Amino acid sequence: MGKKVLVLNADFSAITVCSVPKAFLLVYLNKAELVTESGSARLRTVRDSYPLPSVIRLHHYVHIPYRNGVVLNRQNIFKRDGGHCVYCGSGRDLTLDHVHPRSRGGKTSWDNLATACKTCNSRKGDLTPEEAEMPMRQRPFKPSFVMFLRDFADKVSEDWSYYLGQR
């Protein structure tokens, strides 16, 4: 049951991803409705059988005043950069690189962290990419939640594509 379920707000905008048991509980307690079933798979109890959810929609709108979006961590930066060094394209011995070095005032942020192999990271050292004459294949950026799900998540169900803007 490692499958994930896309959770939509009442206005059909994607707000999060949850586990199948959590999604089933929301539907069972009538806090959400089943929008899309996951194929022919079923959840079975002693007495009943229920469809396996793939997309659910909350009955009441949840106001999210401020969302940071995607969590800034090592794995998410590697996913954003496609698991390759932004300098040479290698996929081996990957580390995180501060584009503008921390020792020179660089922050730990989406816009300043990039995936780099150990060789390129050592070669760049305490310099900016321009000073080290190491052009980047892509500049770091902060992905939105929907963009991250759509473009960088490992497994996105085809059922989710309509709600993530992949029509």
Residue-wise pLDDT tens for the chain (167 aa)?
A: 568 899 999 999 888 888 999 999 999 999 999 999 988 788 888 999 999 999 999 999 998 776 667 889 999 999 999 999 999 999 999 999 999 999 999 999 999 999 999 999 999 999 999 999 999 999 999 988 877 777 766 667 788 888 887 64
Tokens coding 44: 């079975």
- Cut 0.85: pTM above it: no
Do residues 115 and 86 touch, judged by C-beta distance below 8 A? yes
Kind of pairing between the strands at 14-19 and 113-117: unpaired
- Residues facing residue 38 across a β-bridge: none
Tokens coding 47: 């007495």
Q: Domain 74-124 class?
A: mainly alpha
Do residues 60 and 9 touch, judged by C-beta distance below 8 A? no
- Residues facing residue 6 across a β-bridge: 17, 55
- Other beta carbons within 10 Å of 34: 19
Q: Where are the domains of the chain?
A: 4-66+145-160, 74-124
